[in-house]
Amino acid sequence: MIWLLLFLNLLLFQFEGFFAIIKVETEIGSFGGDRGQIDDEDHDYFADEMTIYDPNTEMMLDDMIITHQEFKRFFIEEDEIETKRNAITDENSYWPDKTVRYFMDREFYDVDKKIIREGIKMITDVSCIKFNELSKPPNDSGPYIHINSGNGCYSKVGADCKKCIMSLSITGCLRPGTVAHEFLHSLGFYHMQCSKGRDNFVDIIWSNMKNNAEKNFFELGTVSSLLNTTYDYDSILHYGPRFFSVNGAPTIIPKDGRYLSRIGQREFLSQGDIDRLNIRYKCYEN
């Protein structure tokens, strides 16, 4: 009889532990929607090479999908024009009527969609850009962003596409600032540390980089522009100091040492981000 009572008590303890785990997992899932979200201050959750794009015409540049022609044009070709750069100036890449249409895959839960909308609000609160959430992919020929949970955080740069792919992985990208970062790529902006003339503001430490990461630090050519604003250490599009580091040492060091701990933030759009966005889409002229 004693052995039977001990067995029943042990069985009850195991069941209580099991339901406690279920309760905790349910509460975590309903609270933040992180569901395994990576929280590493030294890097974003970048896309890997197993992603959705056409390798015959496109390539991955960190978290951006661009065509081979765009890579050659924006990062390789140089001319004598001295301008400040980090945004595409080709108006074919602008979103028509300053309106971004987007569709979120069914794989996103309501709590995930709420975070994505919070990232969008970071942009709409400071600009004239409008966002139109679609209930299904459109049948017309106009551009739209199809958001899925792929292998990392990445997006097509600009609106020069019919179905513009954006990945916001549920296991690493669901933070409002990361969402805003990717939507700024979709609006036509590249990373700040790739801006023309960046060597006046940061030192790039090539020897500390992982293999094949060098292309993510290439300096832009002459097609994109900072739109007459200054280099912006606080930009939400700036890398952090140890992005793509092979040894934990910095890959980017600001010449102004006060910014070493500030570059790479994903909490807010800087005033420079706001100005460039509004200048590009002529919001200040309204």
Contact of 188 with 164, CB cutoff 8 Å: no
Rounded Cα gap, residues 104 and 156, in angstroms: 15
Tell me the pLDDT band of 273, cut-offs 50, 70 and 90.
Answer: very high
Q: Is 182 a catalytic residue?
A: yes
Please report where in the chains the tokens 């954006």 appear, as a residue: 166
Number of Cβ within 10 Å of residue 141's Cβ equals 6
129-173 confidence digits (pLDDT tens):
999 999 999 999 899 999 999 889 999 999 988 999 999 999 999
Q: According to the annotation, is 146 in a ligand binding site?
A: no
Contact of 63 with 153, CB cutoff 8 Å: yes
The pLDDT of residue 124 is: 98
> Is the pLDDT score of 22 beyond 80?
no
Q: According to the annotation, is 68 in a ligand binding site?
A: no
Tell me the pLDDT band of 224, cut-offs 50, 70 and 90.
Answer: low
- Mean pLDDT over residues 81-106, rounded? 76
193-219 confidence digits (pLDDT tens):
999 889 999 999 999 999 989 989 988
| Contacts of 116 by beta carbon, 8 Å cutoff, 6+ apart | 104, 108, 147, 168, 174, 179
Q: Which of 58, 182, 214, 267 is catalytic?
A: 182
pTM: 0.74
Tell me the pLDDT band of 275, cut-offs 50, 70 and 90.
Answer: very high
